[in-house]
Structure 1
Amino acid sequence: MEKILKVLNNLKIDEKDFYFYGKEIVKINYEKYMNKKKGKLILMTSINPTPAGEGKTTTAIGLADGLKHIGKNVILALREPSLGPVFGRKGTATGGRESEVIPMDEINLHFTGDIHAITTANNLISAQIDSEIYWNSKLKIDPNKVIWKRCLDLNDRALRNIDIKISSKVCRKEEFTITAASNMMTILSLSKNIEDLRMRLDSSLVAYSLEGKEIFLKELDITGSLMAILKNAINPNLVLTKYDTPTLIHCGPFANIATGTNSIISTNLALSLGDYCIVESGFGSDLGFEKYINVVNQDNDLIPDCTVMVVTLRALNLHNDFENNFDHLQKHLKHITQYHLNLIVAINFIENDSIEQLSQLKKWLDENNYLWEMNEAYIKGATGASALANKVVEICNTKQNFKALIKENETIEEKIKKIVNNFYYLEDFKISKAASAKINSINKTKYKNLPICMVKSSNSIDGNDNKKSNYKITIEDVNVNSGAKFILVYTNNVMSMPGLNKYPNSKDIDLQNGEVVGLK
């Protein structure tokens, strides 16, 4: 508590503008601290990860500690972990060893209850929709055209497609998403402030009437209740790294389905309070970075001053890069350079890495004029990232000429094509009849110019996980998220509700002598 109070004092946060959750977690009333100054923005991304991940979070934490170590005023901004991966296969999202945010167990479990609040708010909307149908209200909601989906912050494949009985005469189909992929998560994470949140909620399309009329959340008359549920969840959470670097952890949208970045509020707060702000985009640059640049940044002035591409030898081996002249890595690097952004490759060193392969990677990066630096913070702590920190500072002060790829007035098909061509490196794509019909319908509405948020597998750069010959990515479904202000484009039957693997982490977690063990 004393360490956090010292950090809050250094950040000049008034005592009346924060409140503790226990001794190591604080929520901040952010409003009056926004836009005081503009720090340098550093964006973390990576190549396609192994099932164990590539250490983006670990590198982000290490870099933040490294910047603090060399005397910089830095604030890290991360996503909140979802209980689905924590109890599933991917595990925790708080780093590890010497690059860790604390308290690790609290952050990965219930934390400050934000995700529970988001789940409750999301499902209140679903409950109200079904109540309107049950009571045959004036809204005349068509049970077969309900857009809003229920959610749960767990991996539960049985809830992907279910039948629900509203009354003895009315049944309808329902789909659960994991909370991190829900509409409510993206709405809160993209909201700029409390007023913007209310506006986004009111304007959320939730269903259609029997006559085909759009029905918005405002018409359910529950926005006030939603605001009451979310009144604390909208405030960013502050914790410290193992080396006492201030870290804002707030909102947790998945990158393979949703936007994949922490809240706009926490990013703007970090940029206002610090000289350097580090944010992380989920999965590889084909997902998190693409969505950050083309969706998150569409409505915000958040061009990164430096983009950090995290690589590990184990991931390069997974993608056969040492045999293929680093083809996979090159594709990810082109994702960044096509926007004319400042870039550095962070080689996340893992114990027992091959020195020969490490030399091969460094040689290739040098020959192709890519700036790189080692990250050894996982083992050595802040000093292990000080060299990377110094180079990032230098890059942040280098002029760049950002060049947008996608224009707002392009059609939905044109936007999809640009992403398929420039991020998945595919010549063409297929559109199902159902998706084509929805695109034609959306093109006749006010939503036609919204950015698109692609739903794609995180395992491969093009979504061709099974290495099919003559492969084309398929657009299976398209939906409008009017509150988040984007169009969801589903590919290759990617699920928005994960399932547990055969031996999930939940089998190893326990409470022993009052301490949580087995989190990994």
Structure 2
Amino acid sequence: MEKFKEIFRSLNLNDNDLTLYGNNVAKVNTTNFNNKKQGKLILMTSINPTPAGEGKTTTAIGLADGLNLINKKAILALREPSMGPVFGRKGTATGGGESEVVPVDDINLNFTGDIHAITSANNLISATIDSELYWKSSLNIDPTKVIWKRCVDLNDRALRDVEIKISKTITRKEQFTITAASNIMTILSLSTSVEDLRLRLENSLVAYTFDNKEVFIKDLNIVGSLMVILKDAIKPNLVVTKYKTPTLIHCGPFANIATGTNSIISTNLGLSLGEYCIVESGFGSDLGFEKFMNVINYSNDLIPSCVVMVVTIRALLLHDDFNNNFKHLDQHLKHVKLYNLNLVVAINFIKGDDVNNLNSLKEWLTNNNYDFEINEAYTKGAEGAKNLAILVDKLSNKKADFKKLINNNDSLELKIEKVIKNFYYLNEFSFSNKALDKLNEINNSDYKYYPICMVKSFASIDGNDSNQSNYKMEIKNLEVNTGAKFIVVYTNQVMSMPGLNKEPNSKEIDLINNVVVGLK
């Protein structure tokens, strides 16, 4: 524990700033660090990933370790793992090999109880709504117009669509989401302070009355109880990598449904404590990066000093890039160039990759004037990311003339069009009748200038996963998330409650001699 505390004291954190959870995990009271950002933000993204992922987290950890190796004060700010993917197909979210955040078991399982608190707060809202229906309260809630969904932190496809019986005469349809896709997860991740969290909760829309009036959480009179449940969950968790790099792990909204980045509070804390704060956005640049720039960075106070694009040979092969002049990779790189940001390509070279493919990739990057380095942190630790760290440090200090893609006062239609044309490379799209009705409703409301959060498949840039001919993207629906303060725009049918695959990781995990084994 003393070695653990020494690392935190090097960040000018004292014992009063920390609440210890065992010997190597702590929570940080961020009150003393608000609005003191001084470090440079490094944003990790990637091309469209394979089912196993492309090593964004592993690369982020290696880069942070590498920066500290060259005597730069670097801090990681990562997403908090969900037990759904841990017990499902994708596995853990703490890196791997020599590029890992510890303690792996604790972080990937129950950790400090944040996700339990988020689940409980989310479901207290649902339980209260149903109680108001049961008692036929003066709120006059229409059971067919409840938009708040229950959640659970597991992959459970049977809960996607259920019918619940509230009383002998009242039943309603319900949908569960996985906790990482819940509204409370997104609200907490976007909150900038305790006060901001309270306001977002108060103004979260949960249902409509029989005469179509809005019902907010504040109308349920439970905001105080929610704040009590979330009082510790709002504090970032602090751990370290194998190479003793301080790491903030806090919140984990999915990027194909929500924003896909750790909490703004933890990012701001990292920027206030270090020279560099390395942040990872979810899935490919068509999702996590786009949402970071247009939703997370809505106020333009989190502009990356450098963007790192993670690339693997296996993903390039999956997208047939070696036979297609690296078109897929080029499209992702252009996403970053839209904003005139400094850019580094990190080649996550994996044992067994073909060296000829590597040479072809390096030649293309060189001919197209992209800066790149190979990341070998998985096998070599901090030393394996040293060259990558040197390059990122160099480019992060290069002046970049940042430009916005979406303006805050752009119309809702124009915001959608800019994302579809510039990120999905589609010139045509359409609105369903349902989406047109919702578009008209939002345009006549106070929410019309909110940023947009696109819902799209992570497997392909344009969402055309089945390679349909004459494919045309359709906007299927729009919803206002008043707590998160953005408009959800649905394109593909994306599941907010995953299911277990045929042979999930849960069949291989065990506790042997009090040691957790089988976590991937």
Residue of structure 1 equivalent to 2:518: 518
1:40–1:277: 8 Å Cα contact kept in structure 2? yes
| Letter matched to residue 29 of structure 2 | N
| Correspondence 1:375 to 2:383 | no
Residue of structure 2 equivalent to 1:167: 167
Task: For residue 358 of structure 1, give the secondary structure of its aligned residue in structure 2.
Answer: helix
- CA-to-partner distance for each residue in 1:283-311, whole Å, 9 max, x for gaps? 00000000000111103500000000000
CA RMSD of aligned residues (A): 0.9
Residue of structure 1 equivalent to 2:239: 239
Structure 2 unpaired stretches of 5+: none
Task: For residue 67 of structure 1, give the secondary structure of its aligned residue in structure 2.
Answer: helix
Q: How many residues align?
A: 520
Task: For residue 277 of structure 2, give the secondary structure of its aligned residue in structure 1.
Answer: strand
Distance 2:407 2:7 in 1: 42
| Correspondence 1:418 to 2:433 | no
Task: For residue 489 of structure 1, give the secondary structure of its aligned residue in structure 2.
Answer: strand
Residue of structure 1 equivalent to 2:461: 461
Task: For residue 227 of structure 1, give the secondary structure of its aligned residue in structure 2.
Answer: helix
Residue of structure 1 equivalent to 2:136: 136
Residue of structure 2 equivalent to 1:450: 450
1:335–1:423: 8 Å Cα contact kept in structure 2? yes
Residue of structure 1 equivalent to 2:186: 186
Aligned pairs for 1:212-361 within 5 A = 212-299=212-299, 301-361=301-361
Distance 2:113 2:235 in 1: 11
1:65–1:382: 8 Å Cα contact kept in structure 2? yes
Q: CA deviation at 1:440?
A: 1.1
1:162–1:173: 8 Å Cα contact kept in structure 2? yes
Task: For residue 297 of structure 2, give the secondary structure of its aligned residue in structure 1.
Answer: helix
- CA-to-partner distance for each residue in 1:249-287, whole Å, 9 max, x for gaps? 000100011100000000000000001000000000000
Residue of structure 1 equivalent to 2:405: 405
Moved beyond 3 Å, runs of 4+: none
- CA-to-partner distance for each residue in 1:65-106, whole Å, 9 max, x for gaps? 000100111100000001111011111100001000000011
Distance 1:146 1:465 in 2: 32
| Letter matched to residue 422 of structure 1 | N
- CA-to-partner distance for each residue in 1:232-255, whole Å, 9 max, x for gaps? 000000000000000000001000
Task: For residue 322 of structure 2, give the secondary structure of its aligned residue in structure 1.
Answer: coil
Distance 2:426 2:355 in 1: 34
Q: CA deviation at 1:407?
A: 1.6
| Correspondence 1:79 to 2:79 | yes
Distance 1:88 1:395 in 2: 38
Q: CA deviation at 1:37?
A: 4.2
Select between 421-430 and 239-248 the one with higher mean Cα deviation: 421-430
Task: For residue 295 of structure 1, give the secondary structure of its aligned residue in structure 2.
Answer: helix
Structure 1 unpaired stretches of 5+: none
| Letter matched to residue 160 of structure 1 | R
Distance 1:347 1:381 in 2: 15
Residue of structure 2 equivalent to 1:41: 41
2:37–2:268: 8 Å Cα contact kept in structure 1? no
Q: CA deviation at 1:33?
A: 2.0
Distance 2:2 2:473 in 1: 53
Distance 1:13 1:492 in 2: 45
- CA-to-partner distance for each residue in 1:204-245, whole Å, 9 max, x for gaps? 111111111111111100000000000000000000000000
Residue of structure 2 equivalent to 1:395: 395
Distance 1:300 1:127 in 2: 38
| Letter matched to residue 335 of structure 1 | H
1:180–1:253: 8 Å Cα contact kept in structure 2? yes
| Letter matched to residue 267 of structure 1 | T
Select between 235-244 and 497-506 the one with higher mean Cα deviation: 497-506
Task: For residue 320 of structure 2, give the secondary structure of its aligned residue in structure 1.
Answer: coil
